[in-house]
Amino acid sequence: MKILFVSDSYIPVPNGTAVSVETLRLSLEKLGHTVYVIAPKYRFWKHSERGIARLPGLFKPFEKYNLSFWPTVGLNLKKLKDFGIDIVHSHFYFRPFYYAKELASSLDVPLVNTNYRIFPEVEKYKDSLKIVKARRVKKALVEMIDYSNACDQIVALSKSSKNYLNDFDITTPIKVVPVGVFIKDYISYPPEAIRNKFKIPHERKLVLYVGAIENENEITFLIRAFRSAWKAIDDVHLLIIGSGTKLPDFQKAVAKLPLNKFTTFTGYLPKKQVNKIYAIADVLAYPGRIDPQPLVIAESLASGTPVVAVKGMGAQDFISDSQDGFVTDANLENFSGKLTEVLKKDKMRLDFSLKARINARKFRASILTRELVDLYASAVSQYKNKIV
pLDDT tens, position by position, 67-84: 877 888 878 888 889 999
- What's the rounded Cα separation, in Å, for the pair 125 and 137? 10
Q: Identify the pLDDT of residue 365.
A: 96
Per-residue burial over 291-324, b if 16 or more Cβ lie within 10 Å, else e, is bbbbbbbbbbbbbbbbbbbbbbbbbbbbbbeeeb
Question: Of 181, 138, 136, 179, which Cα lies nearest the Cα of 161?
Answer: 179
- What's the rounded Cα separation, in Å, for the pair 221 and 343? 18
8 A C-beta contact, residue 179 and residue 293? yes
Q: Identify the pLDDT of residue 309.
A: 98
Q: Identify the pLDDT of residue 388.
A: 57
Mean per-residue pLDDT, 321-329: 97
Ramachandran sector of residue 299 (left: φ over 0; alpha: ψ -120 to 50; beta: rest) = alpha
Mean per-residue pLDDT, 125-150: 92
| Residues composing the chain | 388
8 A C-beta contact, residue 206 and residue 239? yes
- pTM of this prediction? 0.93
Q: Which residues contact 46 (CB under 8 A, 6 or more apart)?
A: none
Q: Which residues contact 255 (CB under 8 A, 6 or more apart)?
A: none
pLDDT tens, position by position, 365-376: 999 999 999 999
Q: Is the pLDDT of residue 126 over 90?
A: no
Helix (H), strand (E) at residue 109: none
Q: Is the pLDDT of residue 62 over 70?
A: no
Q: How confident is the model at residue 151 (pLDDT cuts 50, 70, 90)?
A: very high
- What's the rounded Cα separation, in Å, for the pair 232 and 341? 10
8 A C-beta contact, residue 224 and residue 299? no
Q: Is the pLDDT of residue 260 over 90?
A: yes
Q: Identify the pLDDT of residue 217.
A: 95
pLDDT tens, position by position, 237-246: 999 999 999 9
SS3 2: strand
Q: Identify the pLDDT of residue 75.
A: 82
CA dist list (Å): 58 to 147, 152, 181, 322: 20, 28, 31, 46
Q: Identify the pLDDT of residue 79.
A: 86
Q: Is the pLDDT of residue 264 over 90?
A: yes
Residue 178 neighbours by CB distance under 10 Å: 24
Beta-sheet strand order (sheet of 263-267): 263-267, 236-241, 205-210, 283-286, 307-310, 325-328
Q: What domains can be seen in the chain, in order of their start residue?
A: 2-180+364-387 (3.40.50.2000), 183-363 (3.40.50.2000)
pLDDT tens, position by position, 173-211: 999 999 999 999 998 888 899 999 999 999 999 999 999
Q: For 247, what's the count of Cα atoms within 13 Å in the CB-facing half-sphere?
A: 15
